[in-house]
Amino acid sequence: MNNEKVRVRFAPSPTGPLHIGGVRTALYNYLFAKKHNGDFLLRIEDTDQTRLVPGAEEYILESLKWCGISPNEGQGIGGEYGPYKQSERKDAGIYKDYAFQLVKDGYAYYAFDTADELNEMRELAKKAKMPNWQYNSITRSSMKNSLSLSADEVQKRLDNGDPYTLRLKMPRNEEVRFYDEIRGWVIVNTNNMDDKVIYKSDGMPTYHLANIIDDHLMKITHVIRGEEWLPSAPLHVLLYRYLGWEDTMPKFAHLPLILKPDGHGKLSKRDGDRLGFPVFPLEWHDPKSNEISSGYREKGYLPEAFINMLAFLGWNPGTSQEIFSMDELVQAFTLERVGKSGSKFDPEKTRWFNQQYLRAKSGEELAELLQPILEQEGITADKEYTAKVCELMKERATFIKDLLEEGRYFFEDIKEYDAKTLKKKWKEDTPEIMGELLSQLKEIDEFTTENIEQKFSAFLEEKGFGFGKVGPGFRLLVTGKGMGPSMFEICAVLGKDKVVERMENGIEKVNSLKEELKQKQ
C-alpha cells in the first residue's frame, strides 16, 4: 500500500432485500478498510427510480447493523463528501456538468430514440438472426442521435424539449486494459462494447456515470465489488479516462460468485426457498407481493457465526483455522487470498458455524439470548437457573431455540414420555428398580452431581446391575426423554424435590402407558 489513505465503499441499490452476496461484498470492504486503517463508506445508489422498493434502504441499514459491519461514513452517518444517496446528489446538481462535458469533448452524444423505436430495432434484428443487437459504433449511424442527425435537427429537438439520453461514444477496435487485484490483467476490445446510456433528460445519470463521479469525488481508492460488475469495468475505465481522472482511478477487485450448493450457477432466492435455507440476512416482507422471505436472524443464527461463514465464501486464510472473530478476520484478510472461481454455499457448514459459536458462549450469555423465547412461551425462570440449563444443554444445540426444545423438561412438567424408550427399556421389573433407586436418592442431603453419581453407582454395584438396566428408566421418569446430557447433572440442576416428585408420580404413569401399549399390540 502507498501512503494514500484507503477509502472503500459499499454501494447497494434499494431495489429489494440485501442478498448474502451483497453482505459479503460489504464485509470484504469493511475488513479491507479496517486492516489498512482506512474509511468504509455506505452509499445508496438509487439512480434507477423505477425499481426502488419501499423499505429496502432501511432493510440494508438494519442488516449491516445486525451483522456488525459498521460504516464510519455515508448514508445515515454523514461525512464531508455527502450527500451519500445518488438521487440527493442529482438534486444537488453534482452530475450534470460532468455529463455535458463528455458531450462537449466528443466522448458522448445525444440519442433521441424512443423505447418503442429501440424495441422495434431489436425485433428486426432478431428476425434477421442477429439476436444480440447493440447500440454501438456500427449501428449508431442508423439511429436518431447527434452523430447521425444534422446539427440543426439536433438543436430543434432540444429546443422542442424532446426526451433524450446521453450515450458514451465507444471507439472502434481499441483495447481497454486494467489490472484486477484478484484476477490479474483484464483486456477487452471496444468492438465488443456498446454505447451505454450515461445520462437521461430528466437529469438522472445512469449507474455507470454516477458511480464513477461519486467514487472520484469521494476519493475512493479501491472498488471491491461482485463479479457481475466485471463486464462493466472496461466502460468505467474509459469514463475515468474521458473525464481526465485516469491517474487517480481506484484499484479494482471483482469478487467471485456465491454458487448454489451443487455448484451449478449463482445462488438465488429460489434456491433458498427450494432447499430450506435463507439467502437474506434478515426476514424480508415484500411490500408488493406480501411474500415473506426468511432471514438468518429470524432463523436463529448468531450474527458472528453468519459473518464467519460469509468470510469463507471466496476467501481463505491459508491455515486450518476456521473460527474467526471480526477482529481476527480484520487481521487475517487480504485480497490476495480471495479466489477467482465461485464458492459453493454449504447450508450444513453454516449450521456448523452457528453450533460452534453457540457452544463457545457462557451459560449466562445463552440465558440472555434464551430469555425472549421463554417469555414468548409464557415461561418464567430464574436467570441463574436458566444459565445452568443452557450450560448443560449447549453441546446438543445448534440454535438458541434448541436449548428450550431439547430441555423443555427443565421448565415444564413432563407432558409425554419417549415411546421408543418406553417400549424397549421399561421392563416388568423396572418399576420396582425405580422405587428402590428413588429410596436411595432420597437419602442424599447435598443433591450435587458428584453425590448423585456416587449414590447411583453404589446402587448398581449393590444390586449387580449394569447401567443399561437402570439408566434408561431413570432418564425416562425424570426427563421424559430417551437421550440427553448426564443424568447426574440434570438431576443436580432440577433439584432434589423435582426429581423425587417426578419419579414418585412417573412410575405409575409410565406403567399405565406400558399397559396401554401392550393391549394395542
What is the per-residue DSSP string for 50-119? GG--TTHHHHHHHHHHHHT---SEETTTB-TT---BHHHHHHTT-SHHHHHHHHHTTSEEEE---HHHHH
CA trace torsion 149, 152, 154, 159 (10° rounding): -160
Burial category of 36 from C-beta neighbours within 10 Å (exposed 0-12, middle 13-18, buried 19 and up): middle
Give the separation between CA 410 and CA 509, rounded to whole angstroms.
19
Q: 209 Cβ partners below 8 Å, 6+ apart?
A: 95, 98, 99, 198, 199, 239
CB atoms inside a 10 Å sphere around CB 371: 15
What is the per-residue DSSP string for 478-509? HHS-S--S-HHHHHHHH-HHHHHHHHHHHHHH
Q: What are the phi and psi torsion angles at 411 (to 5°)?
A: -115, -15
Catalytic, out of 200, 269, 349, 469? 269
Q: 292 Cβ partners below 8 Å, 6+ apart?
A: 283, 284, 285, 286
What is the per-residue DSSP string for 235-266? HHHHHHHHTT-GGGPPEEEEEPPEEPTTSSSB
User: Angle formed by the axes of helices 56-67 and 303-311, to 10°?
Assistant: 90
Q: 390 Cβ partners below 8 Å, 6+ apart?
A: 363, 366, 367, 370, 403
Q: What are the phi and psi torsion angles at 209 (to 5°)?
A: -70, -45
Is 401 an annotated catalytic residue?
no
First vs last C-alpha separation in the chain: 77
User: Which residue is listed with cell 449394569?
Assistant: 466
Q: What cell numbers appear for 201 in the block?
A: 433528460
Rg of the chain taking only CA atoms, in angstroms: 33
Q: 107 Cβ partners below 8 Å, 6+ apart?
A: 168, 169, 242
DSSP-based three-state secondary structure for 8:
strand
- Say if CB 99 and CB 209 are below 8 A apart: yes
DSSP-based three-state secondary structure for 39:
strand
Closest CA to 163 of 195, 110, 201: 201
Query: Which residues make beta-bridge pairs with 259?
Result: 266, 344
Q: What cell numbers appear for 236 in the block?
A: 468505467
Q: Which residues are catalytic?
A: 269
